[in-house]
Amino acid sequence: MSATMKTMRVRSPQRQAPKASAARVQAGKANTRTPPFGGRAQGGPSAGNNSSSSPRGAAASAPCASSVVSEAAASCAKLDQGSAKDLLGGAKAFIFDCDGVIWRGDKLIEGIPETIQGLRDAGKKLIFVTNNSTKSREGYLKKFLSLGLEISAEEIYSSSYAAAAYLKAKNFPTDGSKKVYVIGEVGIMEELELAGIPHFGGPEDASAKITLGKGVKMPHDEDVSAVIVGFDREINYYKIQYATLCIRENENCEFIATNRDAVTHLTDAQEWAGNGSMVGAIAGSAAREPTTVGKPSTFMLDDIADQFKIDKSEICMVGDRLDTDIMFGQNGGLKTMLVLSGVTREETLLSEENQIHPDLYTSKLADLLPALNEINGSA
Ligand SMILES: [Mg+2]
C-alpha cells in the first residue's frame, strides 16, 4: 500500500448557489477582423502579418512621421482632431486597459477624470479590462473609487471574472458534484464564490509542502474538472503537482489560464515574471495547452459584446501594450488605439521589428478631450 502525502487535506463541502445562466459566448474563436468605422482600409498589416513586403515609400508619406521610418509608420496614424472626431463618431463603446491607460501604479494619468466624463456625456459605453487576476471586480472597484473615478462593478472586466464567466458559459455545475482547483490569488476565489462554483486551492495552499519518501503518492480530488491558473505570488511545488495531477488524471478536466503575460509590474523598478511563467509550468508538466480567457484571447471580448449588447464593429480598444491590448482588439475585429502613457514607446511602435500596428496612436487618452468637448458642445 502506498504512503500518502503528509499534506493530504480534507476539503470541506462547498456551498451551493443558484445555477448561473450561461452567456452566449465562445472561447478560442478564430481571428476575424471586421472593417472598423471611419478608419483606414483593412488592407494594411495586422497582428501576425509580415509587413516586410510593404513598399518602403509608403512609410515616408505616413502621418506618423518619425526619425525611425518603417513600414509600421504606413499602417498607423497619430491621433489628430479629425481622426479623433471620426473615432468618436463611429464608436459606441470603448474598452480600456487600465494600467498605463487609466493609471500608472496608484496614480491617475493626466486628464483621465475629464475624459471619462466627456465620453459618458457623449453617450459612450465604457468597459475597463485588466489581465491582472489578483483582484476581483469588487477589488478593482475599490481602486477606481480610491482614485476618485465613478465606475460601477459592471463596467469592470478582470481576467479573474473572465475565468468565472467562462465556466458559467460552459454550465459548470454548482451543486458540488464538480470543483475547480485554483492556482492564483484572492481575485479568482472571490469571483468563483460569487458565481457559486465550488473551488479550493489558491491562498489556502500557500504554505502546503510535500514530504517525499519511499512509495509516496500525492492524492488529488477526482471531482476537480477545471484548473484555473492565474498570477500567484505564492505558487509552490505542491500547487504545481496538484494542478498537474488534476489535468492529467481527471477525465475531461479543463485547463484555464487567466492570461499568459510574460511580465508584470510589481514595482516600477523592473519587469517581473508574469502569469506566463505559472501557466508555462503547468503546461509543461501537464503536456497540455490551456484555454486562455484574458487578453489577447477573444473570450473576454465575446462575453463583453454579449453582456453589453454591443456590436463589435462599434467598439474601440484602447491600450498601452501591443502584444496584448492591440492584438486583443485586432483579434476581435475592433478599432484599436495605442496610448504611449504606459509600456510602449513610440520608437518601439514604429520600429521595423514591430509587427502589431494599431489603427491610431497618441500620447495619452486625454488627447481625445478637444474633440470630445467639440462634440459635447463645451469647447
Ligand atoms: Mg496596460
pLDDT of residue 71: 53
CB 299 within 8 A of CB 25: yes
The identity of residue 191, as a single letter, is: E
Which residue, among 268, 324, 280, has the nearest Cα to 301 in the 3D structure? 324
Q: For residue 126, report the distance from its CA to the centre of ligand 1, in Å.
A: 16
- Specify the number of domains making up the chain: 2
pLDDT digits (tens, 9 = 90+) for 68-111: 445 545 667 999 999 999 999 999 999 999 989 999 878 899 99
How many CA atoms lie within 13 Å of 260's alpha carbon, on the beta-carbon side? 17
**First vs last C-alpha separation in the chain:** 80
Residue 276 CB partners (closer than 8 Å, separation 6+): 259, 260, 261, 262, 263
* Average pLDDT in the chain: 84
pLDDT of residue 271: 85
Cell of residue 275, nine digits = 502569469
Average pLDDT of the residues in 16-31: 35
Q: For residue 100, report the distance from its CA to the centre of ligand 1, in Å.
A: 5
pLDDT of residue 327: 92
For residue 142, tell me if it sits in a domain: no
Question: Domain range holding 77?
Answer: 51-131+297-375
For residue 257, tell me if it sits in a domain: yes
Secondary structure of 106-172 as H, E, C letters: CEECCCHHHHHHHHHHCCCEEEEEECCCCCCHHHHHHHHHHCCCCCCHHHEEEHHHHHHHHHHHCCC
Residues 276 and 313 reside in one and the same domain: no
Q: Is 205 noted as a catalytic residue in this protein?
A: no
Q: For residue 329, report the distance from its CA to the centre of ligand 1, in Å.
A: 13
pLDDT digits (tens, 9 = 90+) for 187-200: 999 999 999 999 99
For residue 148, tell me if it sits in a domain: no
CATH number of 73's domain: 3.40.50.1000
Residues 115 and 165 reside in one and the same domain: no
Q: For residue 272, report the distance from its CA to the centre of ligand 1, in Å.
A: 14
Q: For residue 36, report the distance from its CA to the centre of ligand 1, in Å.
A: 22
For residue 40, tell me if it sits in a domain: no
Q: Is 306 noted as a catalytic residue in this protein?
A: no
Distance CA 161, CA 164 (A): 5
Residues 286 and 166 reside in one and the same domain: yes
Question: Could you tell me which residues are beta bridge partners of residue 96?
Answer: 128, 318
Cell of residue 7, nine digits = 499534506
Average pLDDT of the residues in 349-362: 95
Distance CA 332, CA 335 (A): 9
Share of the chain above pLDDT 70, in %: 80
3 state DSSP class of 183: strand
Residues 180 and 85 reside in one and the same domain: no
Residues 256 and 200 reside in one and the same domain: yes
Cell of residue 18, nine digits = 443558484
Confidence of residue 15 (pLDDT cuts 50, 70, 90): very low
More confident residue, 358 or 58: 358
Distance CA 76, CA 235 (A): 40
Q: For residue 115, report the distance from its CA to the centre of ligand 1, in Å.
A: 18
**Which of the following is catalytic: 97, 232, 303, 325?**
97
pLDDT of residue 105: 79
Residues 165 and 252 reside in one and the same domain: yes
Among the candidates 272, 292, 312, a domain finishes at 292
Confidence of residue 265 (pLDDT cuts 50, 70, 90): confident
Distance CA 103, CA 56 (A): 37
**Which of the following is catalytic: 80, 86, 99, 323?**
99
Q: Determine which helix (DSSP H) or strand (DSSP E) holds 280, and give its type and residue range.
A: helix 275-286
Among the candidates 292, 319, 337, a domain finishes at 292
pLDDT of residue 70: 52
Residues 219 and 260 reside in one and the same domain: yes
Q: For residue 205, report the distance from its CA to the centre of ligand 1, in Å.
A: 29
Cell 483606414 appears where?
40
Share of the chain above pLDDT 90, in %: 69
CB 292 within 8 A of CB 162: no
Q: For residue 101, report the distance from its CA to the centre of ligand 1, in Å.
A: 6
Cell of residue 262, nine digits = 510574460
Q: For residue 9, report the distance from its CA to the centre of ligand 1, in Å.
A: 39
